[in-house]
Structure 1
């Protein structure tokens, strides 16, 4: 994988509540796009959310990789517009039809061939 990595977030939930959670975790600076369903007036798996995220990042949907833990809202939603998907296995769901499956988010840089690389 060449070039820099851009991160976007799409989350279902209440706008102020979700943003406070993101800010409390001090992770908002890592994301070039953050879309919250209430603020956007639509929820995952609506394809418009996934397209808007890719547009805000300036990346064609076919070059996006969506990481999620919900088989339908995340994985099927992203796949519906042509994104590659990584399912973060969740004990609540038995399985997901994703392109890749990980048990821990730390596996993603290895999967993408970016191990040891700073983005």
Structure 2
């Protein structure tokens, strides 16, 4: 019997690709007096490539950008701080995010979240999406002192909810950090399809968040 859904954040609830695109366009526009010598599309595309969909931390990205584009009036530290303080304003949810959370809660499904990343940065993004109040447990790797795929962070979330692994379903977009890690703990693994990965060994695959309730009802029948 599935009693809870625990979610990943980036690439699962937050459309990170779209949010990054919006942010880096916004950053260029706001700081154009210092960045105007760089063609806009070149600045945007280079950031996105160096970022590697979030798997390279931004200190490295901005150090490379400052050096490569010969940015003189802004240090990489200033650009990094701008990322920290402004990114949340550009957060874009995946379709049906709020309606899915509402529907799950209406069916007495409890909700949790496990996300890798910087604590306050991720919490700002969660609040920007307007979803903090739906979750009984939110675990962010920096604040927990461990990150996915460490099984203990999954077990800690389950302890918060006072549930056994087989009573919970984990939804994420990464085949190793999310799906394999959750399944290794004994949870049902639901992969949110991402074009970057092929042949993910998940229990279920979804294209849209609104498919989750049907999966739970199917399991609980």
Structure 2 gaps of 5+ residues are 4-106
Structure with the bigger RCO (C-alpha within 8 Å, sep 6+) is 2
For each residue in 1:77-109, what CA deviation from the matched residue of structure 2 results, as whole angstroms up to 9, or x when unmatched?
101111111101011111310100111111111
Q: Paired residue for 1:117?
A: none
Structure whose CA Rg is larger: 2
The partner residue of 1:70 within 163, 174, 179 is 174
Q: Paired residue for 1:36?
A: 140
SS in 2 for 1:52: helix
Q: In the TM superposition, what is the alpha-carbon distance from 1:4 to its structure 2 partner?
A: 2.0
Measure, in 2, the Cα distance between the counterparts of 1:70 and 1:9.
14
The partner residue of 2:197 within 93, 100, 117 is 93
Q: Paired residue for 2:52?
A: none
SS in 2 for 1:4: coil
Aligned 1:1-119 pairs, distance under 5 A:
4-113=108-217
Regions of 4+ moved over 6 Å:
none
Query: Which has a greater percent of helix?
Result: 2
Aligned residues of 1:45 and 1:74 also touching (Cα < 8 A): yes
Q: In the TM superposition, what is the alpha-carbon distance from 1:70 to its structure 2 partner?
A: 0.4
SS in 2 for 1:90: coil
Aligned residues of 1:89 and 1:95 also touching (Cα < 8 A): no
Q: State how many pairs are aligned.
A: 114
Structure 1 gaps of 5+ residues are 115-119
